[in-house]
A and B are shown apart, each in its own frame.
Chain A
Amino acid sequence: MKTMPKNIDIDPNKIFAKDFLKSTELPIHQYQKSIDDELKIHGKENLKEVLRHMYIVREFENMLNSFKTTGSYKNIDYTYNGPAHLSIGQEAAAVGAAFALKPEDKIFGSHRSHGEMIAKGLSAIKNLSRDKIKSIMQDYNGGKLISYVHKNLNDKEFDDAEMFLLSGVLAEIFMRELGFNKGMGGSMHAFFTPFGTFPNNAIVGGSSGIAVGAALHAHLNQEESICVANLGDGSTGCGLVWESMNFSSMGQYKNLWPEPYNKNPPMLFCFMNNFYAMGGQTLGETMSWDRLSRIATGVNSEQMHAETINGSDPLSVADAIIRKRKLLIEGNGPILLDIECYRYSGHSTTDTNAYRSRDEIKHWKFFDPIQQYSEKMIEAGIINKNDLNNMSEKVQNQIEYLTSKVVDRELTPSIDIEKNPTIIGDFTFNKKVISVSKITSDLLKNEGEVNQIKSLQKKSRFGKSEEGSLLSGMRAITLRDSLAEAIIYHLSRDKSLIAYGEECRDWGGAFGVYRGFSDIIPINRLFNSPISEAAIVSTAIGYAISGGRAIIELMYSDFIGRAGDEIFNQLAKWQAMSAGELNLPIVLRASIGSKYGAQHSQDWTSLLTHIPGLSIVYPATPYDAKGLMASSLCSNDPTVFFESQRLYDKVEIFTENGVPKNYYKVPFGKAVKRRSGKDITILTIGASLYAALDASMELINHNIDAEIIDARSLVPFDYEMLLNSVKLTGRLLIVSEAVERGSFANTIATNVSKFAFKNLRASPMIIGSPNWIAPGADMEKTYSPQSEDILDLVFRDFFPEKRINKRGLRKDWDFLDLAKKGL
């Protein structure tokens, strides 16, 4: 007997066998190398550089601290209004790690990552060739920053590349146009990718999944580099961090992925464990672990090769990173390092240290990384006291010199918003579009050899028979089929594109769009993800900013909430927060459910249209679904692609020749007229098209000729077509299945009132779902607007003189009373 395909058999005999779960000891502070050992490995000059880099990081943050707390630094007066989450005391962790990393390794940080970013930049400058550095500096921002350095920070005593790095970071922190992200990121988000520093993240734990996505990209592209998420100890309380640790160690890499991908992505989780999360104490108060590395035992049998490292000694940190890097390159990730360190500075500069004793801080000063390391270097004869003082003094001069120029608003201005008031908006979308190769490559089978895809060839492209009767979805191309055609076209031809989500392979996707795909696309480019919505979105971001493209699937749009931060704060914002340095070519498929009740049937389009930074489309017909999917997969902007489960079986009835077999695109921002009329414009969003069409047929019987416009694209939205229509009809009704309160339909209605007031004969109206839960299948028609509800509203609000017997469920609702009750 034939069975359904399966990848890993679950054998009950093995499952129920008596056994003990084994775990092994994890090293805690086992670093034992002597300074002589380290000298042999690194040489004298490098060990001295470690000290100098720690001085730079310390002095840079002393400067910020001084501005925040006194308004001046070494006679430079400046009011800095932004945040300063300092890591004074943690320099060994930042510099030690950076010292061991290669320029091509990528680090992703937290809100407290100035030090890590500067240290990694200094390390890259130390290790890259001068020619390479020169071209990086010339290429960046049209050479403007390096010209600034050569003009204003030209004291030959200081290396121009270091001044380039430091001025790019400081200008970013001070929100100036010459900052690495034109001041759009600021203190908590500064990064510069050519030196291997990637977005720092103001959301605790936010970097974890992004870094895993970057590691996946490095892995699939066979790069010899690793990705590091620098996270705080507080982030061990965040769901995304756990999701990301799991995502980077999924069993499928080694069990199911083909050579050479049957290894784990090179992902290093570095927890900069300073024992405080804001004022909460992770050790003993807010977390359950006794040592942070304990959490690794919950992730995989390798226990993430975890170690607890002394983060006050840069060489112990570097030693660990060197050893772990090797393991990662060999495919043995992910790895967890618990780097114990201490910040003397508060969480931010407004922190009065109410949560810890002065004695504790004093005690930790005996373990000050710079102090300890300096003594060690002097003791070993690597540096003498005099040279040490000179080094410290030179660094102080370097930071003072840098600061004196960067604070100067005339020399180093912010972007000119007065001159160009919408310039920040210009960073939102890049509007770049790729073209796809016509040639397929690296497929397991061709489309024509796979039954589920081949069967589409037999179907009619148009949804009606020659006699005009509606064809079933088994006989004509459905919206589901048309999505499949666009997606498999791209997956077969665009090797940079990967697809994943909660069931994407043998099942064919939760709603059957990917049926047959797993016979065509290898598992390393089309895989099942864990039920980790946050990590699905977050890893896609990391994959995309590393140069790849991703189409990800969340099953139900209701699950958007599980990826809330990743969609609202990350996916939507990184293009603008990087001032366009990053592109996020990601398509997020979100399916609006039906029949499964309150947590599976919400139209959440309005939730996402509220978030600036996302392109949002919602096709209602097979023709549009295929064409908009093609546009989405070509777009370099992040796109949320809404699909309605009620429409998956819809056949094409509007476009006469049906859904073209060939590849084509429907552009973003273009609505489509489904019916011409002169008395009222009905704008529909998504699935509500069909109820509105039914209503328009009945309206004709009452001599009301409705024009129906299908929005298709919500962000951007086609105001031109709508306003032209309203100009003729003078009346507007907007139908959406989103709940009415705060709905995007309200935004459009308000805008039309604003833009076409003189053309309106009545106030624009909207109808959506009521402000309560979506009920189960049998009651669903009482919820989303039905054609009867649309008819009642049209007669009541636009044509009262043609009043008919009301028929919809809402006919006797007291809308004001409901609104007062919060409903």
Chain B
Amino acid sequence: MTDIIIPNLGNEISEAEITEWLVETGDDVEQGDVVLLISTTKTSLEIEAPTSGKISQINSNEGDLVQVGEVVCTIE
């Protein structure tokens, strides 16, 4: 089981917004696939799957503010 967490994006950035989920629970993903887009105060970022597997859980909705380090999705 692998967690997708909001990465540390520099000292000043503590939160990010989930802009768009590109996967749903149950989808198969390959390592390196972009699974979600987030935006910070400065920029937009693509978050990739760190491993191949099935999306088992999505913890936040589009538009939610999430903290750096927060688990937003799990791959099994």
Residues of chain A whose beta carbon lies under 8 Å from any beta carbon of chain B: 1-4, 451-452, 455, 472-475, 478, 480-481, 507-508, 511-512, 515, 648-649
B29 to chain A, nearest CB (A): 9
B13 to chain A, nearest CB (A): 8
Q: How far apart sit A671 and B14, CA to CA, in the bound complex (Å)?
A: 32
Does B58 touch A at the CB level, under 8 Å?
Answer: no
Whether A2 lies near B41 (C-beta < 8 A) is no
Q: How far apart sit A508 and B16, CA to CA, in the bound complex (Å)?
A: 17
Whether B41 lies near A648 (C-beta < 8 A) is yes
CB contact under 8 A between A4 and B46, given known A474-B41, A478-B41: yes
Report the nearest B residue to A475, measured CB to CB. Answer: B65
Whether A472 lies near B14 (C-beta < 8 A) is yes
Other-chain contact of A474, B17, B33, B46 (Cβ < 8 Å) = B17
Q: List, in ascending order, chain A residues with CB within 8 A of B17's CB.
A: 455, 474
CB contact under 8 A between A511 and B42, given known A2-B34, A474-B65, A649-B12: yes
Whether B40 lies near A2 (C-beta < 8 A) is no
Other-chain contact of A649, B16, B19, B20, B41 (Cβ < 8 Å) = B41
CB contact under 8 A between A512 and B43, given known A474-B15, A474-B17: yes
Q: Which of B13, B14, B22, B43 has the most CB of A within 10 A?
A: B43
Q: How far apart sit A266 and B38, CA to CA, in the bound complex (Å)?
A: 43
For the A-B complex, the count of residue pairs with Cβ-Cβ distances under 8 Å equals 45
Q: How far apart sit A649 and B42, CA to CA, in the bound complex (Å)?
A: 8
Closest 9 CB pairs of A and B: A473-B41, A512-B42, A474-B15, A649-B41, A472-B15, A474-B65, A649-B12, A512-B43, A1-B34
Whether A480 lies near B22 (C-beta < 8 A) is no
Q: List, in ascending order, chain A residues with CB within 8 A of B34's CB.
A: 1-3
Q: Which of B12, B39, B42 has the most CB of A within 10 A?
A: B42
Q: List, in ascending order, chain B residues with CB within 8 A of A512's CB.
A: 41-43
A238 to chain B, nearest CB (A): 36
Q: List, in ascending order, chain A residues with CB within 8 A of B33's CB.
A: 1
Q: How far apart sit A515 and B45, CA to CA, in the bound complex (Å)?
A: 13
Q: List, in ascending order, chain A residues with CB within 8 A of B37's CB.
A: 2
Whether A480 lies near B41 (C-beta < 8 A) is yes
Q: How far apart sit A451 and B15, CA to CA, in the bound complex (Å)?
A: 18
**B1-35 interface bits toward A, Cβ cutoff 8 Å, 1 = contact, 0 = none:** 00000000000111111011010000000000110
Q: List, in ascending order, chain B residues with CB within 8 A of A455's CB.
A: 17, 39
Report the nearest B residue to A473, measured CB to CB. Answer: B41
Q: How far apart sit A648 and B65, CA to CA, in the bound complex (Å)?
A: 19
Q: How far apart sit A478 and B39, CA to CA, in the bound complex (Å)?
A: 14
Q: How far apart sit A649 and B13, CA to CA, in the bound complex (Å)?
A: 9
Report the nearest B residue to A2, measured CB to CB. Answer: B22
B34 to chain A, nearest CB (A): 5
CB contact under 8 A between A451 and B19, given known A4-B46, A474-B65: yes
Q: List, in ascending order, chain B residues with CB within 8 A of A478's CB.
A: 41
A591 to chain B, nearest CB (A): 12
